[in-house]
Amino acid sequence: MPRPLVALLLGLVVLAGVVPATAAPITVVASHPESSWSAPLPGGPVVTRPFDPPPHRYGPGHRGVDLAAPPGSPVLAAGNGVVVFAGMVAGRPVVSVDHVGGLRTTYEPVRSSVGAGRPVARGEPLGVLEPGHDGCPVAACLHWGARRGEDYLDPLALLRPPRVRLLPLDETTRHPR
């Protein structure tokens, strides 16, 4: 395949959309071969509460997803990055990791085994899941969040393979000279 066409195809890659808000649990695929991200819990975690973005910065919503798992389960870095925070926020143990491109992922409630400033690789343990997440319908839930700057994102979108969309060529690009 000619290089310009490869560059064009790569330029058309778009990440998939948002998980529909349903009350039914959704099983998450742990990772996809083309992704540089993986689920923050081993196996196929179950979503007990999906992402529900707020209508505005301070509005109500659910700024991440809740994933069911047994208390004491290892919580894993979803992607390569650097731990920027590991400590208590509003009485809950939280770990935050910065990734390339200004993306930050957060994990709570997690009893941390890493400290701020430590590089982590995708799949590396950050700590263990603690019980006690508000609204969790089972013994323990991990609240997994993602944001870029001030914009909250659906972290499950990180696990989906990219979608390639081909656009029709116009006459000037159909037969390059």
Per-residue pLDDT tens over the stretch 36-73: 899 999 987 799 989 888 887 777 767 899 999 999 99
| Residue indicated by tokens 């926020």 | 89
Q: What is the pLDDT of residue 86?
A: 98
Give the global pTM. 0.72
d(CA 36, CA 21): 25
Question: Is there a contact between 105 and 155 (Cβ–Cβ < 8 Å)?
Answer: yes
Question: Is there a contact between 46 and 67 (Cβ–Cβ < 8 Å)?
Answer: yes
Q: How many CB atoms lie within 10 A of CB 92?
A: 15
Q: What is the pLDDT of residue 6?
A: 27
Sorted by where each begins, the domain ranges of the chain are 3-166
Per-residue pLDDT tens over the stretch 70-89: 999 999 999 999 999 999 99
Question: 3.40.50.300, 1.10.10.10, 1.10.3470.10, 2.70.70.10: which CATH number matches 3-166?
Answer: 2.70.70.10
